[in-house]
Amino acid sequence: MPEQTTTVFPQPTLDEWAAAGIDLPVLFTTGPLCDRMGIRILQASAERVVGTLPVEGNTQPYGLLHGGASAILAETLGSTAAALHGGPTRYPVGVDLNCTHHRGARSGLLTGVATAAHLGRTSATYEIVITDATGKRVCTARLTCQVRDAG
């Protein structure tokens, strides 16, 4: 399992969420599924989120990366960005996720980068590119989230 990293959030975002009583690093770097998968978020803003996933422990019976693991990484990164877009009084709900798997991976650490394609009042869409340690694209995904009021 990779070493725990410190998540980098923009200071204005930290200030806004702290005023609402939300501890952002705990919100986005812990949780049973991310812990189980070994997902770590390295950088996060509404426009771009970067995170990693180890291949080891996330394979299908034939030793290749499980496609569902790529989907979990993609949704985690995109949802994190959508939550930052929504701010402390709104939350994201994934409504569409699609993944295209380009190549298999048997070992190493994958890196995913979610980049905003659309940031609207009630929705946010992200392209997520997942690459291996050599920079080769393993998966391309797109996630659309509805951004809802918490009240």
Q: Which of 3, 16, 56, 75 is catalytic?
A: 75
Residue with tokens 């803003």: 45
Residue with tokens 């994934």: 94
Q: State the sign of the Cα–Cα–Cα–Cα dihedral 62, 34, 89, 126.
A: negative
Task: Answer yes or no: 75 catalytic.
Answer: yes
Q: In what order do the strands lie in the sheet with 109-119?
A: 40-44, 48-54, 109-119, 123-131, 137-149, 90-101
| DSSP classification of residue 33 | H
Length of the chain equals 151
Query: What contacts 141, CB < 8 A, 6 or more positions away?
Result: 70, 71, 74, 75, 78, 97, 98, 99, 100, 127, 128, 130
Query: Which amino acids are annotated catalytic?
Result: 75
